Chain A
Amino acid sequence: MSTPAPAAPVAPAADGTRAPLTKKILTADHPTWCPGCGDFAVLASFYKVLEKLNYPQEKIVTFAGIGCSSRFPYFVNTHGGHYIHGRALPFAAGISLGRDDLHVFVFGGDGDGFSIGGNHLVHTARKNPRLTYVIMDNSVYGLTKKQTSPTSPIGFKSKTDPWGAMDQPINPMRTLLNSGATFIARSHATQVNHMVEMMLKAAQHDGFSVVEILSECVEFFEGAFDGAVPRKGGSWQAIELKKNDGTPEDELRHDPTDKLAAMKLASEPWPGKFGIYYEDKVRPTKNALEQKLIATTREKTKNATDLELLSKTFARMR
């Protein structure tokens, strides 16, 4: 048998001999983002998430595609890497499916996730591998200096639409709901505690979990998300989850297992609500399904060695 037995999913490190993970241990290169970029807050929140999770450092993997936010892995001192534009999800699925003992995080922007990688977002959701995807949505192409992005609102003036964007923007929550993602949440880079909570819950979810974080590009789309920032005159509305306590106010709270309710929530006018839109704890992960397939297949072969298996195959070709 060439693969070790699958490890227990998402088990926090209980290794008493190690020092707990700290921001100091987790800090790598200094971020290259512009001063004021929302991504700094996402990074700071992610350190907190890793501190709370306290996984063994060597078992954490951070990967990314291409874009400003995709520089993320260079700033986190874990195993990780920087892949090609839009394709980090299938790469990360390979890591997760190939090594069930790892904790895989993928970071990227709206161009990476909804445009060039749109196909992969849909299909990764369909496959449900165990990994967490954080999309830092700034509604503009920042690295290439201000072109229209798949989430740019109609009328947004960019270098590719100087007269204002004309194409209908993607609605990330609806797209993810339609694709079958099993954990979908939305947050805002000005709300650190909320971000930490959302990323933590996403990491603890057994399946493909996605957190979209509105993260302002101060250089090319200043004030894009002020509508959800109270101190800028906007309104912040967090999703209250059902407590099932039978109270009349609970009737109004959101049930994250209710896809139709999630779809309604996702269809609210911008800036909409923030929190967990949907969570499916029932659908098995691809990791689990493949491991089950391996287990039943190996049982049928009576746990034959690799050499025995291949020798038998060649004997049939005689």
Chain B
Amino acid sequence: MVSPNTPAATDASASSATTIPDVVIRLAGNSQDGIQAVGGFLARLAGRSDQEVMTYMTIPSTISGGPSIFQVRMGSGEILSSGDRADVLVAFYQHSYENHRSSLRPGGVLLYDSDHVVPNPDDKEVTAVGVPMTSATVEAVGGSSKEKGKNIYVLGLIARMFDLDVPKLTQLIRERFTGKNEDIVRNALLAFDAGYAYPAENLRSCLYRLEKSTAPGGRPQVTGDGNTVLTYGLLAAGVRYGAGYPITPWSSIMETLRTELPKYGGLFVQCEDEIAAASTALGFAYAGHLSITGSSGPGLSLKMEALGWATMAEMPLIVINVQRGGPSTGLPTNIEQSDLLQAIYGSHGDCPRVVLAPKNVEDCFHIALEAGRIAREFSTPVIILTDQAIATRIEAFDEPDLAKLMVEVKPDTSTRDAAFKPYPLGGMTRHAPPGSVMASGKYPTVTGLEHDEHGHPTASPALHTKMTEKRREKIKAVANSLPAPELVGDESGEVLLIGWGCTYGPIREAMGRLRHAGVKAAHMQMRHLHPLAPGLEATFARYKHVLVVEINDEGLYGHGQLATLLRALTCNPAITSITKTDGLTYKVSEIVERVARKIDLPDSTIGMRKQSILAVTPR
């Protein structure tokens, strides 16, 4: 169905457009206004146009409604963060305007719904454009007084402002509503066209065009959020069985697995609680499958006893923890990186396990593959520590080469020879799932009790020592298989910035600004948090300051969780912390300012774009 109303962008308006490299658009409304959908369309359009994109959203933890924002940064070049401040603010309501006006850079454009918002008339710092979004949408869609569709109207407006690819956008709208009532598709396209047809002269010459992106070539771009990409990574890693319990922001992973796994011949069980979920997942693992369970902070705490068993019984398992603000129910819809120590040291006894953290959305795919490989090769639980920010934001990236990367995992029920021992000392434990015939005639018991090589319970002092060592050395063997973390920037110098998880982009940009100002700086994002790759001490020693940037509390002794670990490991006093607990991701400027203070750099505003790229400049 082709909309008859789509006006072609006139040459006249196109020629007067200013070309810009990238733009940050913040949409502010209420959570049911569909602003996420608009953000999603823009992000996917960027992906299909070989542009870079990163989004950022807040959701209220209320059951329904409440203010919400969606920010999208799109353009050419490498986009690492969703942008400190916006170039365009779309305000649906007075509260949206009042709460987010300060996020707009001087010279930026305020696009407000004149049916609901009365901006401050004395504010000359930004270009204010009032558009009757609500009434225009109602008029375009016709009949119903419902405001549904004004998000798509705004999408049309933005498409006009930035000369976006209309055929691609309308195609995306059609795809999104495929299978729904034809009226819905028609109404959406009517609203889009009405927004796009808004008289250009009323846009007060706010017309721009994004620089053509040079396609990196090769693979097509795909667009998705972290939880989705992680889920598909698990499918690629050979995960076919799993169990879970609902908790935000983990739930979307289990929902997707529940619907996807039967297609692959597997299944996902929604359990009665977190402990049952960990237990059922371990039952799948015992049965010979690569299986997963997952949760968010409080749920991971509940799973800890079962994870202790997994370490003792040496069972492969992938555990996902989508971190959020804690402790307790804390900030369920905000970002925090405060589960690191729980992931590494949670549970009772000496319980070494593997903890990994993806650095961005694309990495969610690859970290899932890596977790699967380590879990199977070393017969151990592996925790993937992702976080609310990565889970919910959308990025575009090269489609992974599935034919090369996909792994098939099947229970190995081959006959085990007479020498088989479930827990060999001096050898890697290889679980023999039920169905395997034991040539010795002796069938193995897997157990959480300390045991001998055959799985018989023992309290022998010598055996507990040896078996503890076996479990420890196994994880050390994982360490020796790890590559050194990627180091970008100066090989040695003033400051090394270290991060993990969602801080990757902002730290990388901050490092760039510091180097631009003449500071010898480098950035290392750690994907392997436990065990750590060998040789870090020598790398750290090459810098005057080693600053660990984390979203958690400085704790009783002044250091964030990863910084505490790294200090304990290296006894290097140059390691200090940059931490915060406001429930939000780092802005680049925040990091630069904090680093500047640490290293006595006089100007902390280096490299900051103070004026919006949209500021009216003489043509």
Q: Is the CB of A3 within 8 A of B265?
A: yes
Write the A69-113 contact mask toward B (1 if CB under 8 angstroms, else 0).
000011001111111100110111111111101100000000000
A-contacting 9-mer, from B87-95, B120-128, B196-204, B269-277: B269-277
With the chains together, A312 CA to B291 CA distance in Å? 23
Q: Is the CB of A99 within 8 A of B288?
A: yes
Given A294-B267, A314-B399: A59 and B448 within 8 A (CB)? no
Q: Is the CB of A318 within 8 A of B309?
A: no
Q: Is the CB of B283 within 8 A of A93?
A: yes
Residue among B260, B281, B406, B434 making CB contact with A58, cutoff 8 Å: B434
CB of B119 closer than 8 Å to a CB of A: no
Chain B residues with CB below 8 A from A83, complex form: 279, 282, 309, 448
Distance in Å: Cβ of B453 to nearest Cβ of chain A: 14
Q: Is the CB of B283 within 8 A of A74?
A: no
Given A91-B279, A94-B283, A318-B48: A58 and B265 within 8 A (CB)? no
Q: Is the CB of B266 within 8 A of A318?
A: no
Q: Is the CB of B287 within 8 A of A94?
A: yes
Given A78-B443, A293-B262: A95 and B283 within 8 A (CB)? yes
Given A94-B280, A294-B262: A87 and B240 within 8 A (CB)? no
Given A79-B434, A92-B283, A95-B286: A73 and B445 within 8 A (CB)? yes
- The range of chain B's interface size is 35 or more
CB of A17 closer than 8 Å to a CB of B: no
Q: Is the CB of A84 within 8 A of B262?
A: no
With the chains together, A84 CA to B262 CA distance in Å? 29
Q: Is the CB of A317 within 8 A of B223?
A: yes
Write the B210-224 contact mask toward A (1 if CB under 8 angstroms, else 0).
000000000011111
Given A82-B449, A98-B287, A314-B402: A57 and B47 within 8 A (CB)? no
Given A58-B434, A94-B279, A317-B223: A2 and B445 within 8 A (CB)? no
Given A81-B445, A94-B282: A2 and B410 within 8 A (CB)? yes
Distance in Å: Cβ of B239 to nearest Cβ of chain A: 10
Chain A residues with CB below 8 A from B420, complex form: none
Interface of A is mostly: helix
Given A2-B240, A84-B306, A314-B399: A90 and B283 within 8 A (CB)? yes
Q: Is the CB of A87 within 8 A of B279?
A: yes
With the chains together, A207 CA to B289 CA distance in Å? 22
Chain A residues with CB below 8 A from B262, complex form: 290, 293-294, 297-298
Q: Is the CB of A318 within 8 A of B263?
A: no
Q: Is the CB of A58 within 8 A of B456?
A: no
Q: Is the CB of B265 within 8 A of A25?
A: no
In chain B, positions 294-329 with a C-beta closer than 8 Å to chain A are: 305-306, 308-309, 313
Chain B residues with CB below 8 A from A243, complex form: none
CB of A171 closer than 8 Å to a CB of B: no
Chain A residues with CB below 8 A from B265, complex form: 1-3, 294, 298
With the chains together, A92 CA to B277 CA distance in Å? 12
In chain B, positions 385-434 with a C-beta closer than 8 Å to chain A are: 399-400, 402-403, 406, 408-411, 413, 432-434
CB of A146 closer than 8 Å to a CB of B: no
Residue among B272, B276, B409, B413 making CB contact with A2, cutoff 8 Å: B409
Chain B residues with CB below 8 A from A57, complex form: 437, 443
With the chains together, A112 CA to B157 CA distance in Å? 63
Q: Is the CB of B456 within 8 A of A74?
A: yes
Interface of B is mostly: mixed
Residue of A nearest to B259 (CB): A297
Distance in Å: Cβ of A41 to nearest Cβ of chain B: 22
Chain B residues with CB below 8 A from A82, complex form: 445-449, 457
Residue of B nearest to A92 (CB): B283
Write the B449-466 contact mask toward A (1 if CB under 8 angstroms, else 0).
100000011000000000
With the chains together, A298 CA to B277 CA distance in Å? 25
CB of A259 closer than 8 Å to a CB of B: no
Q: Is the CB of A314 within 8 A of B400?
A: yes
Best-surrounded residue of B228, B283, B291, B306 (most CB of chain A within 10 A): B283
Distance in Å: Cβ of A131 to nearest Cβ of chain B: 10
Residue of B nearest to A86 (CB): B275
B-contacting 9-mer, from A137-145, A150-158, A194-202, A302-310: A302-310
Write the B366-398 contact mask toward A (1 if CB under 8 angstroms, else 0).
000000000000000000000000000000000
CB of B586 closer than 8 Å to a CB of A: no
CB of A253 closer than 8 Å to a CB of B: no
In chain A, positions 38-68 with a C-beta closer than 8 Å to chain B are: 57-61
Q: Is the CB of B222 within 8 A of A314?
A: yes
Given A123-B276, A306-B408: A81 and B221 within 8 A (CB)? no
Q: Is the CB of A59 within 8 A of B434?
A: yes
With the chains together, A3 CA to B400 CA distance in Å? 24
Chain B residues with CB below 8 A from A304, complex form: 263
Write the A278-318 contact mask toward B (1 if CB under 8 angstroms, else 0).
00000000000010011001101100101101110110011
- The range of chain A's interface size is 35 or more
CB of A29 closer than 8 Å to a CB of B: yes
Chain A residues with CB below 8 A from B267, complex form: 97, 290, 293-294
CB of A119 closer than 8 Å to a CB of B: yes
Q: Is the CB of B272 within 8 A of A123?
A: yes
Chain A residues with CB below 8 A from B277, complex form: 90
Residue among A88, A97, A310 making CB contact with B232, cutoff 8 Å: A310
CB of A254 closer than 8 Å to a CB of B: no
Chain A residues with CB below 8 A from B444, complex form: 79
Best-surrounded residue of B264, B285, B403, B444 (most CB of chain A within 10 A): B264
Q: Is the CB of A91 within 8 A of B223?
A: no
CB of A23 closer than 8 Å to a CB of B: no
Q: Is the CB of B445 within 8 A of A120?
A: no
Write the A116-140 contact mask toward B (1 if CB under 8 angstroms, else 0).
0001101100010000000000000
CB of B609 closer than 8 Å to a CB of A: no
Best-surrounded residue of A61, A78, A99 (most CB of chain B within 10 A): A99
Chain A residues with CB below 8 A from B481, complex form: none
With the chains together, A1 CA to B275 CA distance in Å? 30
Q: Is the CB of A81 within 8 A of B269?
A: no
CB of B435 closer than 8 Å to a CB of A: yes
Q: Is the CB of B272 within 8 A of A101?
A: no
With the chains together, A285 CA to B411 CA distance in Å? 23
Distance in Å: Cβ of B55 to nearest Cβ of chain A: 14
Chain B residues with CB below 8 A from A25, complex form: 441
Residue of B nearest to A306 (CB): B264
Write the A16-35 contact mask toward B (1 if CB under 8 angstroms, else 0).
00000000010011000000
Q: Is the CB of B276 within 8 A of A313?
A: no
With the chains together, A98 CA to B280 CA distance in Å? 9
Chain A residues with CB below 8 A from B410, complex form: 2
Q: Is the CB of B235 within 8 A of A310?
A: yes
Residue of A nearest to B305 (CB): A84
Best-surrounded residue of A92, A98, A310 (most CB of chain B within 10 A): A98
With the chains together, A311 CA to B404 CA distance in Å? 12
Best-surrounded residue of A60, A122, A290, A317 (most CB of chain B within 10 A): A317
Q: Is the CB of A94 within 8 A of B434?
A: no
Write the A192-226 contact mask toward B (1 if CB under 8 angstroms, else 0).
00000000000000000000000000000000000
Chain B residues with CB below 8 A from A81, complex form: 286, 313, 445-447
CB of B56 closer than 8 Å to a CB of A: no
CB of B475 closer than 8 Å to a CB of A: no
Residue of A nearest to B242 (CB): A94
User: 9 tightest CB-CB pairs across the interface, nearest first?
Assistant: A94-B283, A98-B287, A3-B265, A79-B434, A123-B272, A90-B276, A81-B446, A297-B262, A90-B279
29 example contacts (A-B, Cβ-Cβ < 8 A) are as follows A2-B265, A58-B434, A59-B435, A73-B445, A78-B443, A79-B436, A81-B313, A82-B447, A87-B275, A87-B279, A90-B271, A90-B277, A93-B280, A94-B291, A95-B286, A97-B269, A98-B241, A98-B287, A98-B288, A102-B434, A290-B262, A298-B263, A298-B265, A306-B406, A309-B263, A314-B222, A314-B402, A317-B224, A317-B399
A contact set with B: CB distance below 8 Å: 1-3, 25, 28-29, 57-61, 73-74, 77-84, 87-88, 90-99, 101-102, 119-120, 122-123, 127, 290, 293-294, 297-298, 300-301, 304, 306-307, 309-311, 313-314, 317-318
